[in-house]
């Protein structure tokens, strides 16, 4: 990262923008609520359930790509990878996913 000052500056900028954003680990989303947009998510951890009002959600699951939620929402996939544009937006407006560039490149060879 030190060899790429622009990437370092970008990382610092993103970290600053995320100050105050809740970061939860060891839990999972049981459902999402909203009418045309995200309004809340229901979470579970070790038998406890709770609800958080929010307008954005980012999830990470292990190291294996998890495309089930994107598929349930109707996002296009190809070779086991969710199709995204240069901004990580899926085929459905306002639904974004993180796609590892390596996964995306490898899907071209499957």
Q: How far apart are CA 84 and CA 77, in angstroms?
A: 9
Q: How far apart are CA 96 and CA 24, in angstroms?
A: 19
Residue 47: predicted pLDDT? 93
Per domain, the residue ranges of the chain are 24-57, 59-110
Q: Which residues pair with 33 in a beta bridge?
A: 40
Are 79 and 107 contacting, i.e. CB atoms less than 8 angstroms apart? Answer: yes
pLDDT tens digits for range 23-71: 888 888 999 999 999 999 999 999 999 999 999 988 876 556 678 889 9
Residue 25: predicted pLDDT? 83
Q: 108, 28, 40: which is closest to 99 by C-alpha?
A: 108
pLDDT at 102 over 60: no
pLDDT tens digits for range 44-53: 999 999 999 9
- The conformational region for residue 26 under phi > 0 = left, psi -120 to 50 = alpha, else beta, is left
């Amino acid at each position: 990262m030190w060899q790429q000052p622009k990437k370092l500056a970008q990382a610092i900028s993103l970290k600053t923008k995320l100050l105050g954003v809740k970061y939860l680990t060891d839990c999972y989303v049981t459902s999402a609520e909203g009418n045309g947009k995200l309004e809340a998510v229901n979470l579970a951890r070790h038998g406890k359930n709770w609800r958080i009002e929010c307008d954005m959600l980012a999830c990470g699951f292990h190291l294996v790509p998890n495309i089930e939620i994107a598929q349930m929402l109707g996002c296009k996939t190809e070779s086991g990878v969710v199709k995204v544009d240069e901004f990580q937006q899926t085929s459905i407006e306002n639904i974004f996913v993180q796609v590892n560039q390596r996964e995306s490149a490898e899907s071209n060879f499957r």
